[in-house]
Amino acid sequence: MKKTIKNIAAFMFAATIISSCDTVDFGDVNDNPNGPTAPITSQLLSSAQVSVSTIINHVDGINYVQQLTEGQYPGPSRYSGLTFSYNTWYTGPVQNLNRIIEVNEDADLAEGASLFGDNNNQIATSKLLRVYFLQYMTDTWGYLPWSEAFQGIDGTQPKFDTQQELYTFMFAEIEDALGKINAGAGPAGDMLFGGDMDQWKVFGNTLKMVMALRISDADAATAKTKFEQAVASGRLITSNSANLVFTFGSDDNSDNQWEDRYESREDYVMSETFMNALSGKTDPRMEKYSDPATGTGLYTGAENGKVNGNTPDYAFPTATVIQDPVYKSPIYTYAQTELSLAEAAVKGWNVGGGTAATHFKAGIEASMMQWGVATVDMDTYTAANTSATMADIAYEKWIALYLNGPEAWAEWRRLDAPALTPSIYANDQRIPVRHAYSSAVADNNADNYAAVIAAQGPDNNHTKLWWDKN
């Protein structure tokens, strides 16, 4: 399935690029009378959705926030990447979603596209997913080309939009998308939620909630308004059974990426930072998140960034994750929702009822129940951890966002907690707070690149993003 989807994505992108170029008119000599006459939007959507798994299972953030570290071949745990390219997002999933929106908004093509679901629902799901990708991208790089992007040969040197402009655009897209969702047929090819538009409403409002908190130190008024809108919608995650997850296939071409990573190598082990934190608070999630070292039977974490070659000496991520080909990787969870409500309550925002303490406790319980912690152990932990300060919430988010690298990294950068000691084995002993642009940006778009550097700051991994104020 994975190979098939990749082939579909490559074909669709190639078709899009070719159709956007100026060409000589050869009449209908190259027309295939048996070929499709309109884009197959279901295939475009499926292809785009595959990329969700590459976000939620991305290892850089997991290593940066020291939930895991590496074995014999340290890379991200030593912050070794200096530049990173965003090109595949523009040429792959985002381009596919652009095309779905374009086709369903075109009066001449919309009727054919409706074979794959209600037009407005296709537009809405594509816009929400596009915002999800764009938020990941801007929270990784900062300023990005957007308003002048996707113009083909007419716009090969687009300007970079500020992160504030991108967030303004994303909030508007979410509002438009949520307003378009109706009782019509959900989109065909929806591998995430099976065309269930109620789940898309939850996804959109949860995305809005997360984005609102993300900018709360940079634009408190907008953050408060958007967060309270998400709460008032009544469409947030209210139980672990409603967690928004990515489900992998059972065959070897579409199965869980974590399982693939451990089929022939053992590159990742538990970090001593994470394991010491769990052990120090007698957190029952330690034995749910990890399995003990095969060599010693102990829950031992490894030094961050060290060449930890003898991996049997260290605890591994639990077999529940790394040995299950159809493991459901969380996108957003009930635990994250409740801890976000706790934070908003501390800020004095309207959270629709409850206090910071009650939502804090509910968030911990949701995380523990998600991982199968026994009730008696959960109750013991929550009884000993009743404080709900911002530092307490930040710590519990760090624990609850285990293995969701981009979210854990973003929340750690925003909340500046818990305190993490950079790897002493890194050449530059500072944990990255963004990724630097690929060198191709400076080479191919020099003037706009210079403008970005002047506005955003030096193009390295240590220039803070717009929303990262503390």
Cα–Cα separations (whole angstroms), residue 129 to 240, 264, 372: 22, 33, 30
3 has pLDDT over 70: no
Question: Could you tell me the pLDDT band of residue 376, with boundaries at 50, 70 and 90?
Answer: very high
pTM of the prediction? 0.92
Please, what's the largest Cα pairwise distance for the chain? 76
14 has pLDDT over 80: no
pLDDT score for 156: 87
Task: Give per-residue pLDDT as tens, 145-157.
Answer: 999 999 888 888 9
Place of tokens 């869980």: 256
HSE-up (13 A, CA, CB side) for residue 286: 23
- Average pLDDT taken over every residue of the chain: 93
pLDDT score for 7: 46
Task: Give per-residue pLDDT as tens, 177-223.
Answer: 999 999 999 999 999 999 999 999 999 999 999 999 999 999 999 99
Going by C-alpha positions, the residue among 216, 194, 212, 208 that lies closest to residue 237 is: 208
The Cα 102–Cα 131 span in angstroms is 16
- If DSSP codes are grouped into helix, strand and coil, which group holds residue 427? coil
Overall average pLDDT of the 157-180 stretch: 98
Task: Give per-residue pLDDT as tens, 329-349.
Answer: 999 999 999 999 999 999 999
Task: Give per-residue pLDDT as tens, 22-71.
Answer: 444 444 444 555 545 568 999 999 999 999 999 999 999 999 999 999 99
Q: How far from chain centre, in Å, is Cα 74?
A: 23
Q: What values do phi and psi take at 85, rounded to 5? A: -100, 140
Cα–Cα separations (whole angstroms), residue 245 to 48, 96, 347, 406: 16, 21, 29, 15
- All structural domains of the chain: 59-77+234-425 (1.25.40.390), 84-218+438-470 (1.25.40.390)
Residue type, 430: R
List the structure tokens of 287. 């034995």
Overall average pLDDT of the 425-429 stretch: 97
Please give the share of the chain, as a percent, with pLDDT higher than 90: 88
